[in-house]
């Protein structure tokens, strides 16, 4: 799994590629911890490079979501591939997160 | 019963070995003609089951063994996961409240959503055996 972080004004854009599973999710959680420690509150998570995600990945995203909501921040997702979209639908987390087709649309939704 | 294929796979109880086990199962499911929906369901269910065995059954001990068996016939794919750790009590499981996002508890729920049959054998003297079945065509329950 690879993680690339960019900042767009007050938004942290986190592009993830590879598999997000029980073996790699801790690395993603650590990255989120660092960004939260830097004061980031508004996130776009670009999952277009993720073909596989398990419940560890979901848990990591829900944890981030709950933490930023305390400070009225948000976590918005984009680029969900069919296999990843299915796990969000099965757990109904597609109703919790705002999901956008593209990174540009997700970033623009904050403005 | 017509023809079937059966393959075995033994893995160490490490989270970073799950990806390889997933590939082992999905390659065979795909080669046997399962559609992508079925293949991805099998892949995710296996990943969740293995993570549970490693994190809960073996409580993170990376030096234990997990034995997998994959049997494919004309009708279905049957995956068994044998471990020698602490038993999971299926009676203790309650599905997550999907109206309230949770930071955990989706793993077993997903296994049940994705597979047609989920059978826990906790009668073994040590550890347990989980059997996951996915039919080639959706079952009309």
ipTM rounded to 2 decimals: 0.93
Between 3.30.565.10, 3.90.550.10, 3.40.50.10800, 3.30.70.100, what CATH number should domain B4-135 receive? Answer: 3.30.565.10
Closest chain A residue by Cα to residue B51: A22
Q: What residues in chain A have per-residue pLDDT under 70? A: none
Please tell me the predicted confidence (pLDDT) of residue B2.
79
CA A89, CA B44: separation in Å to the nearest integer?
Answer: 14
Please tell me the predicted confidence (pLDDT) of residue A18.
97
> Radius of gyration (Cα) for chain A, nearest Å?
12
Model confidence at B140: pLDDT above 60: no
Please tell me the predicted confidence (pLDDT) of residue B93.
86
pLDDT tens-digit readout, B98-113: 999 988 889 999 999 9
Model confidence at B141: pLDDT above 70: no
Domains of chain A: 2-108 (3.30.750.24)
- Could you tell me if A75 and A67 are in contact, meaning their C-beta atoms sit under 8 angstroms apart? no
Report chain A residues whose CB lies below 8 A from the CB of B101: 62, 65-66, 93, 96
Cα distance from B102 to chain A (closest Cα, Å)?
7
Please tell me the predicted confidence (pLDDT) of residue B89.
87
pLDDT tens-digit readout, A72-83: 999 999 999 999
- Could you tell me if B107 and B52 are in contact, meaning their C-beta atoms sit under 8 angstroms apart? yes
Greatest mean pLDDT among B16-20, B99-103, B134-138 lies in: B16-20
CA B94 remoteness from chain centre: 18
- Could you tell me if A43 and A35 are in contact, meaning their C-beta atoms sit under 8 angstroms apart? yes
- Could you tell me if A111 and A44 are in contact, meaning their C-beta atoms sit under 8 angstroms apart? no
Contact at CB, B44 and A83, closer than 8 angstroms: yes
H helices within B15-135, ranges in order? 18-31, 36-52, 107-114
Report chain B residues whose CB lies below 8 A from the CB of A66: 101, 103
Cα distance from B27 to chain A (closest Cα, Å)?
15
């Amino acid at each position: 799994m690879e993680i690339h972080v960019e900042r767009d004004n007050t938004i942290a854009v986190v592009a993830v590629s590879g598999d997000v599973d029980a073996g790699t999710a801790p690395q993603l959680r650590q990255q989120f911890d660092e960004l939260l420690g830097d004061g980031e509150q508004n996130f776009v998570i670009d999952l277009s490079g993720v073909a596989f995600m398990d419940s560890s990945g979901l848990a990591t995203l829900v944890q981030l979501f709950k933490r930023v909501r305390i400070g009225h921040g948000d976590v918005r997702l984009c680029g969900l591939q069919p296999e990843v979209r299915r796990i969000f639908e099965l757990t109904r987390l597609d109703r919790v997160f705002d999901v956008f087709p593209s990174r540009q649309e997700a970033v623009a939704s904050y403005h | 019963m017509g023809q079937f294929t059966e393959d075995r796979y033994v893995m160490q109880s490490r989270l970073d070995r799950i990806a390889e086990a997933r590939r082992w199962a999905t390659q065979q499911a795909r080669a046997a003609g399962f559609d992508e929906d079925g293949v991805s369901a099998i892949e995710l269910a296996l990943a969740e089951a293995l993570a549970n065995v490693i994190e809960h059954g073996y409580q993170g001990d990376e030096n234990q063994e997990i034995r997998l068996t994959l049997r494919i016939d004309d009708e279905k794919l049957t995956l068994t996961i044998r471990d020698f750790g602490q038993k999971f009590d299926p009676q203790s499981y309650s599905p997550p409240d999907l109206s309230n996002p949770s930071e955990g508890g989706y793993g077993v729920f997903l296994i049940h959503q994705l597979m047609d049959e989920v059978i826990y054998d906790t009668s073994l003297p040590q550890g347990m055996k989980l059997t996951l079945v996915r039919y080639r065509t959706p079952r009309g329950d």
